[in-house]
Each structure stands twice: as structure tokens, then as C-alpha cells.
Amino acid sequence: MSVDALGFLRGPPAELTLLLRADTSAARNGAWEAFLDAHSRLLLHVARSVGHDYDAAMDAYAFLLEQLRSDDFRRLRSYQSDGRTRFTTWLVVVARRLCADFARRKYGRFRSTRSASADDRAARHQLADLIAVELDDERTPIPDGSGNPERDLIAREEAGRLAAAIAQLDTADQLLLKLRFEDDRTLKEIAPVLGFASGLQVHRHLKRVLGRMRGVLTGGSPTDGAP
């Protein structure tokens, strides 16, 4: 365990260290209780985020605890305290995967909160098409299957230019567009993924990115999206 310049401790939490070092049955039971004292509310929060209802969440929570404890805490032992991740973040990822496995076994499926329309949009439209709709540019007709060859040709050319412009964005901006237009995530949902403080900040940044895209379609210099 190391300490940085301001004295912030890094490394596994004490309750995890003691749990994994406990070498008697009584010590393991006590350490497990201490671990649950520290993390059961977080684990329950994860189970509730995945469960369809209260009973499903409780079933998932019970399964989760059983899996974390199984095989001499094998999953918890796999946590690498090398500073790459906070233990609680890692624990949420592990716990959510276990709950998702439980849901698939019990209900035959697992569905995230991703909107139902997102699958349909992703299946039917390319990202460039979705952004063109957002830009609401009259010069960029969207292929509508109407059979108008000229319209479809223009649409394909514009979509090609837009796709090329998207490919030139840095990965963070490409990810932003994917999350917003293909996955139909809200700005508030996108903020913690990309490290923005709020959906408002995402909105401001997205305006700038769309301004650049609009500039590509107009063929001039990209605007910055400012009013």
C-alpha cells in the first residue's frame, strides 16, 4: 500500500485485506461480516439496479454474496491493488456481471437500461444517418427508400462525407456520438462515462462537436456550435 503526496492511501481496503488473510474459520466468518458491513449496501444497490423487482433484486443479492464467498473468496482475491482501479469501482463491475449472469440463468435474458429503441436504431441506421437527422440539414436527405435515385445518391454522398468526418474525431468525441445517437443515452447518463461533471457539460461539448459536423456538411469551416 502506498501513500501519495497528500497522504491519500491507495491499495485494498482493510476489510478486504483481513478477509483474504484470515486463516481460521472463525476469523473468516468475522472478516466476512466486517466486509459486508462495509460493502453490503453497495452490493445491494447493484442488485437493485439489475433486478426487475424487489424479490428479483433480493434473489440476485443472495446469489451475489454466495458467488463472492465461493471457492475461498476467489473472485475477491483476483482484485489487483496496483492502483489501476478503486476497489469499489472494480467491485461494482464484478457484482453487476454476477447479477447479470443470475438474471440470464433465472429469466433466460438480461436487459440493460439501454432504451428499447436503441437496438432498432442501431440495426436500421448508420451513425452518420442518425447525426444527419440531428443536424436537421435540408441539404442532407435521409435515405427513405422512396426510390428517388437522385435523392438517394445525394444522401449517400453526404452520409459518406459525414462518416469520414466522424472518423477524424478523437475517440472520446466518437464515443460521445455513439452513446448519444446510437445508444440513445441521455446526457446525464453520458456524463459519468466520459468524465463530465454534468449533463449540461455534455450538452455544451456536444454542441461544439455537432457544430463541426455541421461545418463539414456546409463545406465551410466548422462552426463551434456557439449561438
Partner 1 sequence: MPLDDTGTHLDEVAIAAYLDRSLAAAEHGRIEAHLVACAQCRDEVAEVAQVLATKPRALRWAPLAGLAAAAVLALLLARPAPEPAATGPALRGSEPPVARRQSVELVGPAADQPVSPQALAFVWRSAGADVTYRLVVTDLRGDTVWTATATDTAVPAPTGRVLRPGADYFWYVDALLPDGRSVASAVRDLRIAP
Q: Which residues bind partner 1 (CB under 8 A)?
A: 1, 3, 5-9, 11-15, 17-18, 21-23, 27, 30-31, 33-35, 37-39, 41-42, 45-46, 49, 80, 83-86, 88-90, 92-94, 96-97, 112-114, 122, 171-172, 174-175, 178-179, 182-183, 185, 189-197, 201, 204-205
Q: Is the dihedral of CA 3, 5, 7, 11 positive or negative?
A: negative
Query: What is the distance between the alpha carbons of residues 10 and 17, in angstroms, rounded to a whole number?
Result: 13
* CB-based contacts of 77, cutoff 8 Å, min separation 6: 20
Query: For partner 1, which is the closer residue by CB, 199 or 215?
Result: 199
Give me the least distance between CB of 155 and partner 1, in Å please.
Answer: 24
Count of Cβ atoms closer than 10 Å to residue 124 Cβ: 9
Nearer to partner 1, 90 or 151 (CB): 90
CB closer to partner 1, 155 vs 180: 180
Smallest gap, in angstroms, from Cβ of residue 158 to partner 1?
22
The distance of closest approach from Cβ of residue 145 to partner 1 in the complex, given in angstroms and rounded to an integer, is: 24
Q: Among residues 127 and 159, whose Cβ is nearest to partner 1? A: 127
Q: Sign of the CA dihedral 100, 101, 103, 109?
A: positive
Amino acid at 186: T
Residues 215, 170: Cα–Cα separation, whole Å: 17
CA angle 213, 217, 218 (to 5 degrees): 115
Q: Nearest CA to 60 among 45, 70, 74, 72?
A: 45
CB of 136 to partner 1, least distance (A): 24
Q: Which is nearer to partner 1, 152 or 182 (CB)?
A: 182
Please report how close the Cβ of residue 1 comes to partner 1 at its closest, in angstroms.
Answer: 4
